């Protein structure tokens, strides 16, 4: 494409709320064969809310949530925010937890009033040798409903199962269909568990997904596909998406996402909608095909 037509393309994209950092990114975008999509905050709204609480010991639901929120108040994870918001809305006191530790991709631990608290996914419970058999059926049911179940244990004993729901953006399904109609292979990436990932992928019509991806492994997924000759796009919003956004042939950041993601990407989707992604690819293809 001529420099002039690229400039026109970049301008058209900007009108559609798609900020393209340079002409090269616009041209590369037309060649994308595989697009990796982050789940949380990209396909979903990224604002999870507590929906279900089941307890497995003598504790009241309110005291469970007080303990879990105290623990999560030290975490910056979106799941932690959902728990803390729940407690704040009900004016539960947040107490200071000592020996706090965040275990990447699994959850959090800490100590409160001499009690050891653990909160996170099944992998975390396995790591600490907690028996979760009482809650696994319920956890599976919640996950099949596209919710994220999290286990809570006190002094090595299962205490509760808490689920959060992060609704799918209402235009994700339609935007994903537009991308698929362009012949692009879509892959959803998430740190979330297998059943939740499957439920979300199914609801938006994506066949290919990878669950339980550790933050540092997203970039490996990009490299792996590039080595197979794919031209790889990556779309994400989070700090943990940044290395993959930088590595991709074209990185697309959700404009409502973190600054780190935006700085690492070639393109920013200002509207926060995946339609912006489909628009970007359409403009890119039009730019390339009109002027060879
Ligand atoms: P993602 O943000 O895509 O879910 P993460 O790697 O951050 O990916 O988290 C993977 C999983 O680890 C989460 O789905 C959750 O089950 C668990 N987890 C991580 N951090 C926390 C936390 N602060 N509280 C509870 N669970 C957590
Ligand atoms: Mg995200």
Catalytic residue numbers read 38
Q: In angstroms, how far apart are the furthest CA atoms of the chain?
A: 71
CA 251 to each of CA 9, 22, 160, 246: distance values in angstroms, whole numbers, following the listed order: 17, 12, 39, 6
Residue 218: DSSP 8-state: H
Do 95 and 209 have their domain in common?
Answer: no
The 10 Å Cβ neighbour count of residue 281 is 22
Strands 34-38 and 232-236: parallel
The pTM score is 0.92
Domain boundary residue, one of 165, 193, 214: 165
By CB neighbour count within 10 A (0-12 exposed, 13-18 middle, 19+ buried), where does 259 fall?
Answer: exposed
We report the CATH number of the domain holding residue 76 as 3.40.1110.10
Ligand located closest to 239 CA = 2
Atom of ligand 1 nearest to the CA of 196: 14
Closest to 53 in 3D by CA, of 126, 119, 106, 114: 119
Same-domain pairing of 201 and 272: yes
**Number of independent structural domains in the chain:** 2
Ligand nearest to the backbone CA of 84: 1
User: How many angstroms separate the CA atoms of 48 and 36, rounded?
Assistant: 22
Residues 98 and 37 reside in one and the same domain: no
Question: Nearest 5°: phi and psi at 285?
Answer: -65, -40
| Shared domain check, 273 and 252 | yes
Residue 198 CA, chain-centre distance (Å), reads: 14
Co-location of 200 and 220 in the same domain: yes
Q: Which domain holds residue 123?
A: 49-165
Ligand 1: lining residues by beta carbon, under 6 Å: 40, 72, 75, 77, 79-80, 105-108, 119-121, 148, 150, 190-192, 215
Q: What is the pLDDT of residues 93-113, one digit of tens each?
A: 999 999 999 998 899 999 999
Per-residue pLDDT reduced to its tens digit, 7-58 = 999 999 999 999 999 999 999 999 999 999 999 999 999 999 999 999 999 9
For atom 22 of ligand 1, which residue has the closest CA? 107
Task: Round to whole Å and give the CA distance between 37 and 274.
Answer: 10
Q: What is the CATH number of the domain that holds 276?
A: 3.40.50.1000
ipTM: 0.94
Question: Do 141 and 234 have their domain in common?
Answer: no
């Amino acid at each position: 494409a001529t420099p002039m037509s690229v400039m026109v393309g970049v301008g058209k994209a900007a009108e559609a709320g798609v900020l393209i950092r340079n002409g090269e990114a616009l041209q590369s975008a037309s060649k994308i064969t595989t697009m990796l999509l982050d789940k949380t905050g990209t396909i979903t709204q990224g604002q999870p809310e507590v929906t279900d609480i089941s307890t497995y010991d003598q504790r009241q639901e309110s005291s469970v949530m007080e303990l879990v929120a105290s623990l999560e108040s030290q975490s910056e994870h979106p799941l932690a925010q959902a728990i803390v918001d729940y407690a704040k809305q009900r004016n539960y006191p947040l107490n200071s937890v000592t020996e706090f530790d965040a275990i990447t991709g699994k959850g959090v631990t800490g100590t409160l009033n001499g009690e050891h608290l653990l909160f996170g996914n099944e992998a975390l419970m396995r790591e600490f040798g907690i028996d979760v058999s009482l809650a696994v059926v319920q956890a599976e049911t919640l996950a099949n409903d596209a919710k994220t179940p999290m286990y809570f244990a006190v002094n090595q004993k299962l205490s509760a199962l808490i689920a959060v729901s992060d609704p799918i953006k209402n235009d994700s399904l339609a935007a994903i269909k537009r991308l698929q109609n362009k012949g692009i292979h879509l892959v959803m990436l998430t740190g979330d568990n297998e059943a939740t990932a499957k439920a979300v992928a199914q609801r938006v019509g994506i066949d290919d997904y990878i669950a339980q991806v550790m933050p540092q492994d997203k970039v490996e997924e990009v490299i792996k596909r590039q080595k197979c000759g794919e031209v790889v796009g990556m779309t994400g919003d989070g700090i943990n998406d940044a290395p993959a956004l930088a590595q991709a042939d074209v990185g697309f950041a959700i404009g409502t996402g973190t600054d780190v993601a935006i700085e690492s990407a070639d393109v920013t989707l200002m509207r926060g909608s995946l339609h912006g992604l489909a628009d970007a690819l359409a403009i890119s293809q039009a730019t390339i095909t009109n002027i060879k």
